[in-house]
Amino acid sequence: MPEMIATRAEGERQLTNFVPRMGRRYANGRNTDHGPGGHTAVSGLSPYIRRRLVLESGVVAAALAAHGPQEAEKFVQEVIWRGYFKGWLEQRPQIWASYRDGLEADLAALDADRRLRRAVAAAEAGSTGLAYFDAWANELVETGYLHNHARMWFASIWIFTLGLPWRLGADFFYRHLLDGDPASNTLGWRWVAGLHTRGKPYKAEAGNISTFTAHRFAPRDSDLAQDVQGLEHLEPQGLPPLLPLRAIAAPQPGRPTALLITEEDCRVEDFPLSRHEIRATATLQASHLRSPGAVAEAVTRFEAQALADAAARSGFETTSLRAGVAGDLATWAQRAGAVQIVTPYVPEGPLRDWLRAAEPALAAKGITLCEWQRAWDQVIWPHATAGFFKVKQRIPDLLQKLMP
């Protein structure tokens, strides 16, 4: 497969090409995994949407304009799922912290357990002997993508058939997926494990895999775990309580400002840049923060290209920073004479952790970290308090507010 081009123009070109398939063709074909080079029933836009090179609102507007609310319903729901997962994690940041800290513990256990290391290495290398699972592992590593249905089957087999720690599987995905997102990846794996919707783990079934891979594979029931029990025992305390959505400092017009561009939102031109006295602009490379392990080169390249494209569109001369020593952010802004750093909202995940670590140095130098937040998030996130059904019921009202 050709390497994806991480620019806004390329994302919009792919969006335009997919618009005719956003209706009935998507609804009828979206669940079938045809394998590498055959994913024509799904959009492939997720790496662009994840970095907001293409906006959720623009994708949904295109689907509704071309197909109407009834035929575009399934496509619209899938786009809103991402907003739901984002909002759910924003209101339960403890879940991200639990994943992050639990992964460190799992990696330490991996170092101490030779048998587990061999099993995890075989799974990641696509050498388990399960042809379908191995094919997905290889596709992920080689292309940075997996069909959504394949992600669910893979995670279920990893957890219940192979008996491997779920966080190590989530880390494997996060290191390789071009569309890797802290909320979608973490909560997707938790959903399969029966931790997100407690007591309802996702079971990979032979017949389902055969049918929805267009019979490319023919698993046997005996190859897959049959008595699937969720992992609720790992969190006997249940889900943490909901917390209020994080308050953010709004950028103040007319103040000496440093503009920071991250892969969380690569369309800074959508925000009111002209209101601020921008003294310096920088892109922040942060994909290496995804994992203590080695992040795929394709992920790093995609991020770098997206940031370069965003910098070019900003119209400012731009410096390239790397998320290393957190205090360096304050040093960069102070040298520019800035009293505030402005950036599009950074949600829960490794970059948010890094920015939290940078806050003491910023405060010591009298620099405020300010964020712009998109209406899409402001409207959807407050409703992401329980299961997706609550948000799904509100989709017509939400879209009325977002696209009156």
Q: b or e along 21-59 (b: 16 or more beta carbons within 10 Å of the residue's beta carbon)?
A: bbbebbbeebebbbbeeebebbbbbbbbbbbbbbbbbeb
Q: Which CATH code of 2.60.40.10, 3.90.550.10, 1.10.579.10, 3.40.50.10800 fits the domain covering 97-234?
A: 1.10.579.10
The answer to whether residue 202 scores a pLDDT higher than 90 is yes
Residue 312 and residue 275 in contact, taking contact as beta carbons nearer than 8 Å: no
State the pairing for strand pair 277-285/318-322.
parallel
Q: Mind listing the pLDDT tens digit for each residue in 240-274?
A: 999 999 999 999 999 999 999 999 999 999 999 99
- Alpha carbons within 13 angstroms on the beta-carbon side of residue 143 total 17
Check whether domain 8-90+380-402 has CATH 1.10.287, yes or no:
no
The whole-number pLDDT of residue 158 equals 98
Strand intervals (E) in 114-269:
256-261
Segments making up each domain of the chain, as ranges: 8-90+380-402, 97-234, 256-373
Q: Tell me the pLDDT band of 72, cut-offs 50, 70 and 90.
A: very high
Domain 256-373: top CATH class: alpha beta
The answer to whether residue 35 scores a pLDDT higher than 80 is yes
Q: Mind listing the pLDDT tens digit for each residue in 281-300?
A: 999 999 999 999 999 999 99
Average pLDDT score, the chain: 97
> What does DSSP assign to residue 4?
P
Distance, in Å, from the CA atom of 280 to the CA atom of 278, rounded to the nearest integer, reads: 6
The whole-number pLDDT of residue 199 equals 87
- Percentage with pLDDT > 70 across the chain: 100
Q: Mind listing the pLDDT tens digit for each residue in 298-326?
A: 999 999 999 999 999 999 999 999 999 99
Q: Tell me the pLDDT band of 106, cut-offs 50, 70 and 90.
A: very high
